Structure 1
Amino acid sequence: MKFPLSWLRAHLDFDADTATLCETLTRIGIEVEGVEDRAAPLASFVIARVIEARQHPNADRLRALRVDIGDGREYAVVCGAPNARTGLIGVAALPGAFIPGTGITLKVGEIRGEKSEAMMLSAREMGLGDDHSGIIDLPEDAPIGRPYAEYAKLDTIIEIKVTPNRGDALSVHGIARDLAAAGLGRLKPLPTPSITARYPSPLTWHIEDPRACNWVVGRAVRGVKNGPSPQWLQDWLVAVGLRPINALVDVTNLFTYGLGRPLHVFDVAKVKGRTLSMRMARPGETLAALNNKTYTLTEEDGVIADEAGAEALGGIIGGEHSGCDENTTECFIESALFDPVRIALSGRRHAVFTDARQRFERGLDQALPPRALDMATATIMELCGGEASEISEAGQEPNWRRHATLRFERLMGLGGMAVATDDAVARLEALGFATLQRDTASVTVAVPSWRNDIAAPITLDMDPGLDPTRAAAAREGCEATEAEADLVEEVLRLGGLDAVPAVSLPVPFAVPPPAVDAKQRRAITARRILAARGCQDNVTYGFVAQATAEQFGGGEAALRLENPIASDLNQMRPTPVASLAFAAAANAARGFADVALSEVGGGYRSTAPEGQLAMACTLRAGSTPANWAAPARPVEALDAKADAQAVLEALGVPMAGVTITTDAPGHYHPGRSGTFRQGPKTVLAYFGEIHPQLRDTLGLPGAAVAAEVFLDAVPEPKRRKKSPPDLPAFQPLRRDLALLVDADVPADNLLRAARGAERALVSDVVLFDRYAGERLPEGKVSLAIQITLQPRERTLTDAEIEAVVAKVVAAITKATGATLRG
């Protein structure tokens, strides 16, 4: 919310400067979001007089002016304003000045052959409004040469941020009240005008449905002359971002911002019939609103209606048909209370954001409608003339009166700050709380009508079988506790929130370790490992299109959704790789073909509990990122294998006991994929290149590889007592062997045979070369392995080493038929 200082001075008598004012607002919990010094951008503009205005010799719509700015010389100005004339006093800008309304910096130029050394400004060019019909026309006594900002005494505008519970702070008077309570200035009392009724009200109120309105009062004023508002009112409205319309409408905006009390005026001549009804909208009913939009209303919208239909969406926006204009001679002022929740829901339903809605949905001063009606009537009669009618009323004032009790010890207990009891009571009374009862330990106060956030009734979701007396007692206890906390906050904030000490919460016991089970640990570990490998973590839907599920080995009828959120998301996915593939394709379609994606999520194979699989999946597409050590290259199956192996190793899987087979599912390339197995039956992971046909179907333009790790298949590592690390005292030694083997024999068979030949000494076996080509028999390949021998009791002799190597070769030959190459 914005407000100019001159508007604040109409409600608060103070001498503090702007910096002190803003500091005080922030200290008492009203956050200042910005301060706009409207004079600063206009500092270089001066008041000038047009010495002569003549027709431009080369342009019909331009005038050539001679301008005096009071510095002893004349300036040539080319101007297109229709009101430019000899003797006019306006505002001039000289070369080098920045023009806020157009965003340009002025410089000397030539326009259609005539020199232009300065610029005469309109209100819009100066950033003071929307009027650009002509240059500013000042009174004849305006001093030539004086800075315009100094002459105009432009307001400083303050913008504040109001929390949702502080509806009373959405008014200049409410802000003034808080500042006065904090000791900055004296709050000016609101006037209480006495209105004499001159004739019966031409319109009467009728509340047809209490859901639409609780209480409404209204009064007509006839004989009004509606026209532009006085300049002071226009200036205030422009300062807060509103466009002045006419005096009657501007008065309602004056009270919306000034008192936080939205009003509405109807043109009596445009209302059909003599009754205005508060009712719920009828099915299909429409409203042509003041914002030039038409809304189709629902039965949940409260409206103000005449005999012809809806004339306003109650508490939100008025209708165009009955609005006041320059031809209005009799208006009818409405001041009502509406249900905040219904206002909020209707506003959201129709996407209508108005100042009235903002205030009604936060709660208004529930005792103010009659007084606001009198004040608005007096203001309209002062600005537009006329005489007032009798008041028309329907409904009744709600029972808003309530009280709250503050125990003084709670100031320290809840706020961590000791405040003298007299000071605490004085602060509450300064905010409008009236003391009802006080003793040495506590004070009970009456809550003012404008503080809907204090001691608000609490609705408890009680057990239906609970005794009503106990339920009422519990509710009353909750409300009392909530109200006391509200009062503590009010007392402390008036002393300055910056003065409230920071107090840590007590920790009566040690913080327990995180309660994470083995399955959750696996998921967390897998997610971190894949992120460390450069994959971007994803959270996608657990369902895909049926056709896609079938391509990834799923598509069972039992896993089809009866009520999918979209027609192409109607099947539970068999693997997260399907979802990642669509994400990669979407990135590629937008020019980002190189991606590395991961997801730890569910894959669904059946409706049984064991059919829901916890999986850690990756999908890499395009090329690997280039770096100083290696250029970019297309992703390959071994990248996916590395992802799966990194996750398995991090989860504690002993990789020496893991085998790799080539029986990956059909969505992988049959010759560029594999399966990690532990034993003959347990599948730990799949990896490989996405099948080319599937890749084309998915819209992946380049290479794409994936990996799927089944987290539930990973066995829990055996718990062993911690022991010192095994650091052998003897150096390991390595031997390289080249073996000739049939091309169809998996290398893994050869490695397992070598590891099992002499477990006491063979600590590691790795494959480091594969050769197939010239000088080898047909159907044979050469596999080169390195064997690491780790002695533990003594250094091995050459004979012992050769014996171990021979034993390894024999085991390999027996298992695979391989022979040692000469």
Structure 2
Amino acid sequence: MKFTLSWLKDHLETDATLDEIAERLTMLGLEVEGIVDPAKKLGDFAVAKIIEAVPHPDADKLRLCKVEALVDGKRQVLQVVCGAPNARSGLTGIFAPSGATIPVNGMVLKPTKIRGVESNGMMCSERELELSNEHDGIIELPDSWEVGTPASEALGQNDPVIEIAITPNRPDCLGVYGVARDLAAAGVGKLNDGSVKPLPGNFDSATGIKLEFAPGTDNACPVFAGRMVKGVANGPSPIWMQKRLKAVGLRPINALVDITNYISLDRGRPLHVYDASKLKGDIRARLGRKGERLLALDGKEYDVQPDYCVIADDARVLGFAGVMGGEESGSSEATTEVFIESAYFDPYRTAKTGRATGIVSDARYRFERGVDPAFVIDGLELATRMVLELCGGTPSNVIVAGKEPVPTKAIGFDPMRVEKLTGLTLPRVEAETILKRLGFGVAEMSDGLLDVRVPSWRPDIDGQADLVEEIVRVHGLSAVKSVALPRAHAVSRPVLSVQQRRERQARRVLAARGLVETVNWSFISKAAANLFGGGNATPGLKLANPISSDMSHMRPTLLAGLIVAAGRNVDRGFADVALFEVGQQFADDTPEGQSTAATGIRRGTARPNGAGRHWQGKAGPVDAFDAKADAVALLAALGAPNLQVSAEAPAWYHPGRSGAFKLGPKNVIGYFGEIHPRVLAELDVAGPVVGFEIFPAAIPEPKKKATKAKPPLDLSAFQPLRRDFAFVVDAGVSADQLIRAARNVDKKLVADVSLFDVFEGGALGDGKKSLAIEVTLQPVEKTLTDEDIEAVSKKIIAAVEKATGGTLRS
């Protein structure tokens, strides 16, 4: 919404400055988006007089002018070289001194020589000052203007343009008068009387008005008013009107059209003017008919739909109601008889028609937000008065079909609601005064409440809270103090659960290890589900209406989607991929069967320490220990305790290159290992691929309170020592069994046990293998003697023999 300052002052008597008005508008909720003050742009320019103009000695088209101008507060005569054909002695125009910036091109003037003659400043054309495209000559002003008068005053460019943002609930401020009303209510000035006096008609209109709607659709146009004016002389609108329309971005057309545009902006009341000589019979508002077409004022032809509200005569459609009129019935310079239309159209049907046709107009913008239904007749009277003043003519009697749908909205208002809702204490009288200034009717009720009558131009007011908002925004929102919400605790409680924090931590840890996060569908194909323990095994996870045949089952594990994603990358030339996902997987169709997993895979040479070829040597393919390293790092970040590792991975892992993390015999924390070649072949993905699955919910939650203090760091002063042992055991014995047996001999003395060699075949024979371990002994109280070491070694050998049945290799 744009308007000029002088336009606003037509309705508001005020001494407030432009800055004060702008600030108050924003505080009222009418946010000022910009102010364009042409006087600032022309600040360096002033009126000057050419006292002598003679030909340039070296250029036929140039003239040497002696210009009387005001420079630094003193009158001076300056020499200016000018190429304008109308430059002559005695001409009064606009002068730009040295140092001024020309608006059209940003050029900064400075003294210069033109064809050998010094020139100081320049006389300006309208184009150079961005007043118009006229540049055939310099500006000519009446001789009555004094030298030194500011150019903005002499050119009438001293009217700032204010642009405000209007929210959809404030259609009353889509007219300058409505903005003035808000400012007057806020104490910025006095609102002038906006009432419209009716004009008597001199004859009955030859064109009648009809409303032709079937029952249930008559809300499309509840009221239609109009009158004819004969003997008008259409032509250009007055300069003052053209300037205002141009200032807000509208192109002046002719007086009749400009009047309707002006009233739409001034009062928020769209109107339309028909050339009465082009009408056939009566005008009626009705719904459209199949097969009808309209050539609109935008030059485009549109098909009429049965749900459009249209204005038509006996022969054709004249326009889309509330959206745009037709070109065939529009006024022109030859128009001598007009029919003025003022109606109220349903906002919803208007918006629907506008969207369907794609027409964007000022009328549609206002009607779909809601114009004042009580200003239909007044708007017609206002337009008639302006037509008579600017174009002459004789008006007919007013014709009205239907009735203005003026709402009668009354609200019982308790002024104490202001304090209850905002904390702002206002006198009852001030609240009443503000509402009255805004146009509300206010009367005392017997129970102490106020009977507030909502004006017709405020469709956004429905209850007491709306009235509180009106009072507070006019009084000043800055007076409302900010109050913090009550807090039950000095330190806020954690918002995220342990599970949510673990999921976030898992994403951070895996991303830091070089894996790329993916988000896959929760649905996979039946064949893929069968590979991972789903499909036929869990018929309850089959979708009743799948997106496609490849997404028919809920995923039993996240590995399926990750492996398929890796395969797509391989097909596109990205062989070394490392992916992870944290999401839901489904064991069955019960709530307990849904769990969260943090799952990742590596393929090709995408190992944690680098991938691909390098001059120092090619990286080897991924193996189960890469997956184990990822899983161990994730478990450590999630706070998992010491876990057992066993070879009990599901069937989709390689049976000899996989394992499970367990806490006790039944609580499985996760799996890791190489993906089974059979699974990769079924999914058509080339290996090797390794992966891991960690179940954060299976990790015990940390204790809320520590039962005892952690022991201090205790470092031994004695040198550790290491002893190697090799045992011959059955091929089915796991290294973990042997390591646990050795570690449990003496938990204080045995600091670490690690496997460093595995040997099968040769002299050992079939069904046997050799496992070599390194045992680190860390003395605490004294240095170990040979006898102490020998005693510990015998205990280790005995413990391993008892746990595994193995013998010390000779």
- Equivalent residue for 1:500, pick from 461, 480, 486: 480
Q: Give yes or no for contact 2:502–2:696 (8 Å, CA) kept in 1.
A: no
- The change in CA–CA distance for 1:255 and 1:146 in structure 2 (over 3 A counts) is same
**How do 1:195-210 residues align onto structure 2 when only pairs under 5 Å count?**
195-197=199-201, 198-208=203-213, 209-210=217-218
Match of 2:181 in 1: 177
- The change in CA–CA distance for 1:396 and 1:123 in structure 2 (over 3 A counts) is farther
Match of 2:194 in 1: 190
Note the alpha carbon deviations across 1:486-510, whole angstroms, 9 max, x for none.
2223233322221223345567999
Is 1:274 paired with 2:249? no
- Equivalent residue for 1:149, pick from 138, 147, 152: 152
Q: Give yes or no for contact 1:594–1:624 (8 Å, CA) kept in 2.
A: no
Match of 1:602 in 2: 584
Q: Which moved more, 1:208-217 or 1:776-785?
A: 776-785
Match of 1:653 in 2: 640
Code of the aligned partner of 2:479? A
Shift of 1:431: 1.6
Match of 2:265 in 1: 257
SS at match of 1:367: helix
**How do 1:501-650 residues align onto structure 2 when only pairs under 5 Å count?**
501-504=481-484, 521-531=498-508, 534=511, 542=521, 559=542, 562=545, 564=547, 600-603=582-585, 612-617=594-599, 644-650=631-637
Match of 1:14 in 2: 14
**How do 1:298-697 residues align onto structure 2 when only pairs under 5 Å count?**
300-306=307-313, 310-348=317-355, 352-438=359-445, 441-454=448-461, 456=462, 483-504=463-484, 521-531=498-508, 534=511, 542=521, 559=542, 562=545, 564=547, 600-603=582-585, 612-617=594-599, 644-659=631-646, 665=652, 676=661, 684-685=669-670
- The change in CA–CA distance for 1:507 and 1:94 in structure 2 (over 3 A counts) is same
Code of the aligned partner of 1:615? A
Q: Which moved more, 1:268-277 or 1:208-217?
A: 268-277
Q: Which moved more, 1:37-46 or 1:604-613?
A: 604-613
Q: Give yes or no for contact 2:643–2:662 (8 Å, CA) kept in 1.
A: no
Shift of 1:266: 3.5
Shift of 1:170: 2.4
Code of the aligned partner of 2:257? V
Taking the aligned partners of 1:137 and 1:593, their CA distance within structure 2 comes to 75
SS at match of 2:643: helix
- The change in CA–CA distance for 1:515 and 1:13 in structure 2 (over 3 A counts) is closer
Q: Give yes or no for contact 2:607–2:626 (8 Å, CA) kept in 1.
A: no
Shift of 1:624: 8.8
Taking the aligned partners of 2:627 and 2:98, their CA distance within structure 1 comes to 67
Note the alpha carbon deviations across 1:659-714, whole angstroms, 9 max, x for none.
47776858xx999987656678876446689999999x99x9x99997654455x2
Taking the aligned partners of 2:294 and 2:570, their CA distance within structure 1 comes to 47
Note the alpha carbon deviations across 1:610-638, whole angstroms, 9 max, x for none.
66543345689999999xxxxxx999787
Code of the aligned partner of 1:522? Q
Match of 2:73 in 1: none
Taking the aligned partners of 2:385 and 2:134, their CA distance within structure 1 comes to 33
Match of 2:169 in 1: 165
Percent of counterpart pairs with the same letter?
38
Taking the aligned partners of 2:81 and 2:742, their CA distance within structure 1 comes to 99
Q: Give yes or no for contact 2:38–2:157 (8 Å, CA) kept in 1.
A: no
**How do 1:695-774 residues align onto structure 2 when only pairs under 5 Å count?**
708-711=693-696, 714=698, 716-717=700-701, 722-727=706-711, 731=715, 736=722, 749=736, 753=740, 757-758=744-745, 760-761=747-748, 765=752
Taking the aligned partners of 1:361 and 1:736, their CA distance within structure 2 comes to 88
Taking the aligned partners of 2:674 and 2:656, their CA distance within structure 1 comes to 9
Code of the aligned partner of 1:234? Q
Taking the aligned partners of 2:602 and 2:83, their CA distance within structure 1 comes to 66
Q: Which moved more, 1:108-117 or 1:235-244?
A: 108-117
Taking the aligned partners of 1:703 and 1:112, their CA distance within structure 2 comes to 84
Code of the aligned partner of 1:410? R
SS at match of 1:184: coil
Taking the aligned partners of 1:692 and 1:111, their CA distance within structure 2 comes to 89
Note the alpha carbon deviations across 1:502-550, whole angstroms, 9 max, x for none.
345567999996797xxx6423421244236657998957457869978
Match of 1:244 in 2: 252
Match of 2:72 in 1: none
The RMSD of aligned alpha carbons is 5.8
Note the alpha carbon deviations across 1:371-395, whole angstroms, 9 max, x for none.
0111012222322333333333332
SS at match of 1:390: coil
Q: Give yes or no for contact 1:49–1:69 (8 Å, CA) kept in 2.
A: yes
Q: Give yes or no for contact 1:741–1:817 (8 Å, CA) kept in 2.
A: no
Note the alpha carbon deviations across 1:335-390, whole angstroms, 9 max, x for none.
22233344445545555544333333332222111101110122223223333333
Q: Give yes or no for contact 1:617–1:706 (8 Å, CA) kept in 2.
A: yes
Shift of 1:74: 4.2
Note the alpha carbon deviations across 1:708-741, whole angstroms, 9 max, x for none.
54455x2544869741134178546855566779
Q: Give yes or no for contact 1:522–1:711 (8 Å, CA) kept in 2.
A: yes
Note the alpha carbon deviations across 1:172-192, whole angstroms, 9 max, x for none.
111111111222111111252
Q: Give yes or no for contact 1:78–1:119 (8 Å, CA) kept in 2.
A: no
Q: Give yes or no for contact 1:289–1:320 (8 Å, CA) kept in 2.
A: yes
Note the alpha carbon deviations across 1:243-278, whole angstroms, 9 max, x for none.
333333322222222112222334445556533323
- The change in CA–CA distance for 1:600 and 1:23 in structure 2 (over 3 A counts) is same
Match of 2:229 in 1: 221
Shift of 1:147: 4.0
Note the alpha carbon deviations across 1:305-347, whole angstroms, 9 max, x for none.
4456654343334444544444544443332223334444554
Larger Rg: 2
Q: Give yes or no for contact 1:659–1:678 (8 Å, CA) kept in 2.
A: no
Q: Give yes or no for contact 1:689–1:706 (8 Å, CA) kept in 2.
A: yes
Q: Give yes or no for contact 1:406–1:488 (8 Å, CA) kept in 2.
A: no
Taking the aligned partners of 1:218 and 1:225, their CA distance within structure 2 comes to 19
Alignment: residue pair count: 771
Code of the aligned partner of 1:657? Q
Q: Give yes or no for contact 2:439–2:455 (8 Å, CA) kept in 1.
A: yes
Taking the aligned partners of 1:581 and 1:292, their CA distance within structure 2 comes to 59
Taking the aligned partners of 1:739 and 1:608, their CA distance within structure 2 comes to 51
SS at match of 2:397: strand
- The change in CA–CA distance for 1:262 and 1:679 in structure 2 (over 3 A counts) is farther
Taking the aligned partners of 1:108 and 1:584, their CA distance within structure 2 comes to 73
Which structure 1 residue ranges, 5 or more long, are not aligned?
Answer: 457-482, 627-632
Q: Give yes or no for contact 2:743–2:750 (8 Å, CA) kept in 1.
A: no
Shift of 1:15: 0.8
Taking the aligned partners of 1:290 and 1:593, their CA distance within structure 2 comes to 62
Q: Give yes or no for contact 1:207–1:395 (8 Å, CA) kept in 2.
A: no
Q: Give yes or no for contact 1:227–1:246 (8 Å, CA) kept in 2.
A: yes
Note the alpha carbon deviations across 1:420-467, whole angstroms, 9 max, x for none.
22222222222222233356933223222212222x3xxxxxxxxxxx
Shift of 1:193: 3.8
Q: Which moved more, 1:180-189 or 1:732-741?
A: 732-741
Code of the aligned partner of 2:282? R
Taking the aligned partners of 1:253 and 1:703, their CA distance within structure 2 comes to 75
